């Protein structure tokens, strides 16, 4: 049996040298995404898409805005998903994503982001796709991510 999920996240962009992370890769030293953790909108949207497809809830249920998650690296969220949510019950068929950010060009980082996400999820690189977009003047002060995920159930399909 197959199951689909969708994820979305948005964070305001601020000037500062905390670093902007997309898919676990630092893509800017001039901007950062304001958020409770590291503000990695792509990873947050992937988490929600996988949780939605698995029927296990949403990112806030597993990683609430508390002291433990303050400034936490979002890639740790993906590692948790693999070990606690996907293990045994589901296999990722593919993940497709769009990231909209105007102030940074993501194309030079595309391969590194793909490798980072694939490694964190324990999947082949061909199962993850990212399409960076500029927003054409509409989203100058934010970073947004949209993600779809297709899971296949393992075993009897009752997951």
Binding residues: 9-11, 36-37, 44, 58-60
Q: Which of 90, 91, 6 is nearest to 48 (CA)?
A: 6
Question: Residue 6 pairs with which residues in a beta bridge?
Answer: 148
Q: 């293990």: which residue's tokens?
A: 87
Q: Tell me, what DSSP letter sits at residue 47? A: H
Q: Which residues are annotated as a binding site for a divalent metal cation?
A: 9, 11, 44
Question: Residue 128 pairs with which residues in a beta bridge?
Answer: 95
Distance CA 81, CA 101 (A): 26
Structure tokens at 120: 């964190």
Judge whether 47 and 81 are in contact, CB under 8 Å: yes
Distance CA 18, CA 15 (A): 9
Question: What does R_g of the chain's alpha carbons equal in angstroms?
Answer: 15
């Amino acid at each position: 049996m197959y199951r689909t999920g969708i994820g979305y996240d948005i964070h305001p962009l601020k000037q500062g040298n905390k670093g902007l992370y997309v898919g676990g890769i630092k893509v800017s030293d001039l901007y950062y995404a304001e958020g409770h953790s590291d503000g990695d909108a792509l990873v947050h949207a992937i988490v929600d898409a996988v949780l939605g497809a698995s029927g296990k809830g949403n990112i806030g249920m597993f990683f609430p805005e508390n002291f433990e998650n303050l400034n936490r690296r979002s890639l740790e969220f993906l590692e948790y998903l693999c070990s606690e949510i996907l293990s045994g019950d589901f296999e990722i068929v593919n993940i497709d994503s769009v990231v909209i950010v105007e102030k940074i060009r993501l194309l030079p980082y595309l391969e590194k982001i793909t490798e980072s996400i694939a490694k964190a999820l324990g999947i082949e690189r061909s199962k993850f796709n990212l399409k960076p977009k500029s927003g054409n003047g509409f989203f100058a002060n934010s970073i947004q991510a949209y993600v779809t995920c297709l899971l296949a159930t393992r075993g009897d399909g009752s997951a």
